[in-house]
Chains A and B, each alone.
Chain A
Amino acid sequence: MINYIWLFMILSGVVAAVAQGRVELVTTAALNGAKDAVAVCIGLISILVFWLGMMRVAREAGLLEKLAKILRPVAKFLFPGVPPDHPAMGYILSNMSANFFGLGNAATPMGLKAMEELQKLNPDPKTATPAMCTLLALNTSGLTLIPTTIIGIRLKHGSADPTEIIGPTLLATLIATSIAVLLDRYYRRRVFKNH
């Protein structure tokens, strides 16, 4: 699917540029896109270095196991295929907690660690496992208690009540996340029944 989306975006972009007689738009866009992508990765370096260091301390102290033990019911419900005492569980749950409490920066390193651990359980390293898809479903639907970025932007634009949207946003993100979890279940049953 990702192959087709990729092709679709590039192809329709080139067609649109040609139709306007401005082919040079494609070149500028491509170079800008590449530049932005590298900038994002450079920005990720500091975050990853810092949080992966912190996470190693937490892991060696046994804190991740503790978190996994406390949230065991949640973990078992969402990730039935992962052994509850596997290190992946601790990272998954810290990723979810970081997302929920608005520590977006910390969520990515924890999520990547979780993926790394889940990959160790993967019999086919090129294909995603059901647990990976569930982790992605939770992360793409963006469950968060306070949308700090958007509140900051509302404040910048002189909103009289920048936090007014917290309730509606929380409700909308809860709905999106529930749908994501339900669909993930549905597709998981459909795909892995045939295997």
Chain B
Amino acid sequence: MYEAISFISKMMLPAILVFIPLYAVFRKVPIYESFIEGAKEGFPTAVSLIPHLVGMMVAVAIFRDTGALDFYLKFLTPLVAWLHIPTEVLPIGILRPISGAGSLAFVESILRTHGPDSFLGKLASTIQGSTDTTLYVITVYFGAVGIRNSLYALKVGLWADLAGFLASWIICSLVFAS
């Protein structure tokens, strides 16, 4: 099953890269010129994201690296323990929406100390894989078009992250518990 999915996923990119130009030539599109025309937008778009990402990532770094994060983690640990969720994965759950690299560092430390095939290792992997870095996505997507008021998008993203975290824990407990 995995081999099949993995094969499809590996073939996806080459297939797309062959299919798009081939189909476009067939439809008499000047493919090279139109590629260049579209590609021109890439640089200004990336540059226009710099202020948004700097603003967000500076705040995240200050929060994470000064020990403020640890303080809130300590605060939340009893609650998580009360729910019988392993407290080791709490930092992953808290960091996942605000810093993808930050939560990945905690996943790696769990994989290193407990092993990737331990219950904790599998749980950490599942949490990391099941949601995205909400704050980053919101910053980049709304930043690119200059939206100031993001309405309820952040709230929805954060609730979904919590749902992903709890779902990972429940599913892993059912599937992997010894």
Contact = CB atoms under 8 A, between A and B. Distances in A.
Nearest to B3: A163
Contacts of A71: none
Interface in A128-173: 128, 132-133, 135-137, 139-142, 144-150, 153-154, 157-169, 171-173
Given A45-B43, A101-B9, A2 B154 contact: yes
A166 B6 CA distance: 11
Interface string B140-178: 111011111111111111011101100110011001100
A63 B25 CA distance: 12
A101 to B, nearest CB: 5
A150 B125 contact: yes
A157 B111 contact: yes
B57 interface: yes
B85 interface: no
Nearest to A56: B38
B160 A33 contact: no
A5 B59 CA distance: 9
Interface residues of B, number: 102
Interface string B8-35: 1100110011001101101101010011
Interface string A101-136: 111001011011001101100000111100011011
A: contact size bracket:
35 or more
Nearest to A43: B46
A133 B116 contact: no
A53 B36 contact: yes
B65 A125 contact: no
Interface centre among B12, B23, B27, B38, by most A CB within 10 Å?
A: B38
B87 interface: no
Given A125-B146, A126-B149, A172-B167, A10 B59 contact: yes
A165 B63 contact: no
Interface in A52-84: 52-63
B61 interface: yes
Nearest to B27: A61
B147 A153 contact: no
A153 B111 contact: yes
A12 B63 contact: yes
Contacts of A26: 62, 66
B144 A115 contact: yes
25 contacts: A5-B59, A5-B154, A9-B59, A12-B63, A12-B71, A13-B64, A26-B66, A29-B64, A29-B66, A32-B65, A41-B50, A48-B42, A52-B45, A53-B39, A57-B38, A58-B24, A60-B34, A115-B145, A126-B147, A139-B141, A140-B138, A146-B5, A146-B6, A163-B2, A167-B175
Identify the 4 closest CB pairs spanning chains A and B, nearest first.
A56-B38, A33-B61, A49-B42, A53-B39
